[in-house]
Structures are given as C-alpha cells and as structure tokens.
Amino acid sequence: MPLFHPVKESDVTRAIVSNFLRQFEEYAESDVIIVGGGPSGLIAGKELAKAGLKVALIERNNYLGGGFWIGGYFMNKFTLREPSQEVLDELGVPYEKATAGLYVADAPHACASLIAAACNAGLKIFNLTLLEDIILHENDRMAGVVVNWSPIIHMPKELTALDPVPMESRVVIDATGHDAVVLKKLEKRQLIQLAGEGALWIDKSEDAVVEHTGEAYPGLVVTGMAVGAVYGLPRMGPTFGAMLLSGKRAAEVTLGIVKKAAIP
C-alpha cells in the first residue's frame, strides 16, 4: 500500500498554473504594491496586510530577504540597536547583548521568521518579478508598476522582446535598497532629483533613515536604504534596526494615504 494518495501528473501542472493565475489576476489591482523583498519591504508588507489591506510584494530574485540573510562580510550574524530589538521580540527571534544598546542575532532565523510573519499576515509574494517601469496617471501620481519575468535580463536579445505587464495600486512602496530602482524611474523623467547615498556613519544614518521614511512623490512611499538615495543620507552597514523601524513607519504613512484617499 503506497504512503501517498495517487494523482495524475497533469493535475500537478493544472494546480500550479490555475492557482498562480488566479492570484495574479486578483492582484493585478491592489491597495499597495511593494517593490523589493528585503527587511524594510517585508516589515511594511506584514504591517499593511495585518491592517487588512490588499498588498502585493514583487521581488526580482527567486528568494525573499534581500540583505537580511547575512550580516557583515560573509558572516550570518547581524546587529541592531536599541530600541529596534523589540521587533525581534515581536517575531520571537532570540538575540544577545553585545555592548550597551547593541544586540546581535542570527540572520537566517530573523529573516525566515520575518518572511513567515509577512505571509501569515496575508502578504502576497510575486518572486522572479522585475520592476521594469512605473505607471503615472494625471497629476503625475504613481498608479502602479510595470513588471516582467526577471530571468529575461540574462537572456539573449533576440529572445527578450517580451512586453512587460502593468499592475495597478493606490500606493507603491520603493523598498529596493541601495539601488532605489523605483525612484530612479522618476529621476530619469526629471520628476525628482536624488541626492545619492552618503558614506557610512552608523550613529547618524539610522535615525535619519527612519525620520525621512515617507511619501517621496505622490503615491510613492520610500523605505529602507532607498531613503538614503533620495536625501543623501549616510549608509549604515550591517546594522538592521533602521530597516525594521523604517518598514513600520512606511506602513503607517501608507495607511494614512490610503485612508485619506477613501474619504469622499
């Protein structure tokens, strides 16, 4: 007697295709699209989904987490400063005190727990999905993103005449880290000017990134290291507290924009 229930091979394919397409069709229009699945994007997504919004996160890689799997150099331990260890308490991730106000934790444990918490809250993930462009509507307001299958950038030119598809949303969040990819689409059209990220200065950068997290352009909220690119803030290296608190701030700002738009 076999352990597993018998199935038709074709039913395996149908289950994957129909389930994915149903989700893609549903999320072709969302309340919020988050571009980038690093720590700031995942925290924002978790909070917004928990608040009951319909939220899609697009990530160009096949895996989520961005720079959160690893700390500094090749070592998978990351640091965070008081009071951001409270986010690890919420996620149930253990940490050790390194010095006064500085904690160290296991990056794979924290990253996996954050991904699980975001999915449990209802965030929908579209991985291997590359932001190619943005949608702008009247009054130059962000109205969504234009995406493609990310492996196409590694394919020969004669095979890559694949048109991207649009996904609409009321708010877009740029959580693409140091690359600030969404913001650069606006800069290319001379709609904003980016100051560019500054050199490393931990004490200054973390407060500044959280403080400047917000709506950088109508309908576009910026979080995480992408904030540094807009305002010329210093980078911070392998300390992640500001990414977590910036993600939370981005969720608060986004909720405010969505609620304001809902008032007739």
Residues in contact with ligand 48F by the rule CB under 6 A:
35-41, 58-61, 66-68, 130-131, 175-177, 179, 181, 224-226, 235-236, 239-240, 243
Residue 135 or residue 259: which is nearer to ligand 48F going by CB? Answer: 135
Report the C-alpha gap between 5 and 12 in whole angstroms: 13
Characterize the bridge pairing of strands 141-149 and 198-200. unpaired
- What's the closest the beta carbon of residue 175 comes to ligand 48F, in angstroms? 5
How far, CA to CA in Å, does 139 sit from each of 143, 219, 251, 254, 256?
11, 11, 24, 19, 20
Residue 52 or residue 151: which is nearer to ligand 48F going by CB? Answer: 151
Q: Kindly list the strands in the beta sheet with 102-106, ordered across the sheet, starting from the edge strand earlier in the chain.
A: 77-81, 102-106, 95-99
- What's the closest the beta carbon of residue 44 comes to ligand 48F, in angstroms? 9
- What's the closest the beta carbon of residue 218 comes to ligand 48F, in angstroms? 21
Residue 177 or residue 214: which is nearer to ligand 48F going by CB? Answer: 177
Residue 136 or residue 145: which is nearer to ligand 48F going by CB? Answer: 145
Report the C-alpha gap between 101 and 200 in whole angstroms: 19
- What's the closest the beta carbon of residue 155 comes to ligand 48F, in angstroms? 16
Residue 5 or residue 20: which is nearer to ligand 48F going by CB? Answer: 20
- What's the closest the beta carbon of residue 6 comes to ligand 48F, in angstroms? 39
Residue 31 or residue 132: which is nearer to ligand 48F going by CB? Answer: 132
- What's the closest the beta carbon of residue 228 comes to ligand 48F, in angstroms? 9
Q: At what angle do helices 39-50 and 241-262 cross, to 10 degrees?
A: 40
Could you give phi then psi for residue 208, rounded to 5 degrees? -65, -40
Strand partners, 95: 105
Residue 56 or residue 257: which is nearer to ligand 48F going by CB? Answer: 56
- What's the closest the beta carbon of residue 22 comes to ligand 48F, in angstroms? 22
